[in-house]
Amino acid sequence: MEPGLVGLWALVTGVGKSIGCAIVQVLHAVGTQVMAMSRTRADLDILACECSGVKTVCMDLGDWEATEQELGGMGPMDLLVNNAAIALLQPFQEITKEVFDTSFDMNLWAVMQVSQIVARGLVAWGTPGTIMNISSQASQHAIDRHSIYCSTKGAQDMLTKAMALELGPHKICINVVNPTVVSTPMGTVNWSDPQKVKTMLDCMPLGRFAKMENVVGSILFLLSDHSGMTTSATLPMDGGFLAT
């Protein structure tokens, strides 16, 4: 089944590595025109070489004004994938205001700001669109030392529903995916303790963490024509973890 995304424009954030990079590769392969955004120029240059025609934007999403300037000036995007995020872990009693602010700025405010920019363009042009937020299993399940990360992702799930409510009348669909651990720099740093991994996998009916292609495949489906009646959905990719 073709996803029906040929010729559409997609903005993907945090594409320098890992899941974001894989999303760009798959969108490029199915004929989507991609605006790939991240903060390390060398990563973007490699991606642009691998995927010819992909346009790149190098900026820090933590900079509100730069985001407004860089992304506000791009043409209308049919699709948006809010992928960039950070996971800063601290024991609850040691959480600092700095980690709180940086995490919420990146994982919630930047998601909202970039979505606003894209939604305004779609509404102005009167064209339908799709926004995907990349949340986490951690949005619905408390994990040791993950208070801030869990809270940002829980807020992202609810933001997705609120956006779906207000943007639906403009034919804009918004959904969120909730992967379990994926083997990326973020996943590896935070899941290096074998006991922590075992505790999680013991509660997972499928007994394994997610592969990159599991996550990217579901995102592609939710961006495609085939899920055109789905909005405000949270899609677990957790090997059944939340069923236990």
Residues annotated catalytic, as ranges: 149, 153
- 14 contributes a contact to ligand NAP by CB under 6 A: yes
The reply to whether 157 sits near ligand NAP by the rule CB under 6 A is no
Cβ partners under 8 Å of residue 18, min gap 6: 182, 184, 185, 186, 212
Rounded to whole angstroms, the Cα distance separating 15 from 42 reads: 12
Stretch that binds ligand NAP, among 47-55, 60-68, 165-173, 193-201 (CB under 6 A): 60-68
Region for residue 180 given its phi and psi (left: phi exceeds 0; alpha: psi -120 to 50; beta: otherwise): beta
Q: Does 60 bind ligand NAP (CB under 6 A)?
A: yes
Which one of residues 6, 40, 66, 205 is an interface residue with ligand NAP (CB under 6 A)? 40
Which residue has the CB atom at the shortest distance from ligand NAP? 14
Stretch that binds ligand NAP, among 26-34, 45-53, 140-148, 181-189 (CB under 6 A): 181-189
Query: Which of residues 181, 200, 219, 222 is near ligand NAP by CB under 6 A?
Result: 181
Residue closer to ligand NAP, measured from CB, 68 or 127: 68
* Count of C-beta atoms within a 10 Å radius of residue 225: 12
The residue assigned the tokens 């009646």 is 229
- Give backbone dihedrals phi and psi of 131, rounded to 5 degrees, phi first: -120, 135
Q: If binding is defined by CB under 6 A, does position 182 make contact with ligand NAP?
A: yes
In the complex, the smallest distance separating the C-beta of residue 205 from ligand NAP, rounded to whole angstroms, is 18
35: β partners: 11, 55
- 192 CB contacts (<8 Å, ≥6 apart)? none
Candidates 5, 18, 103, 118: give the one binding ligand NAP (CB under 6 A).
18
Can you list the alpha helix ranges (DSSP code H) found in 37-106?
41-50, 64-72, 97-104
The contact set with ligand NAP (CB under 6 A) reads 14, 16-20, 38-40, 43, 60-62, 83-86, 106, 134, 136, 179, 181-182, 184-187
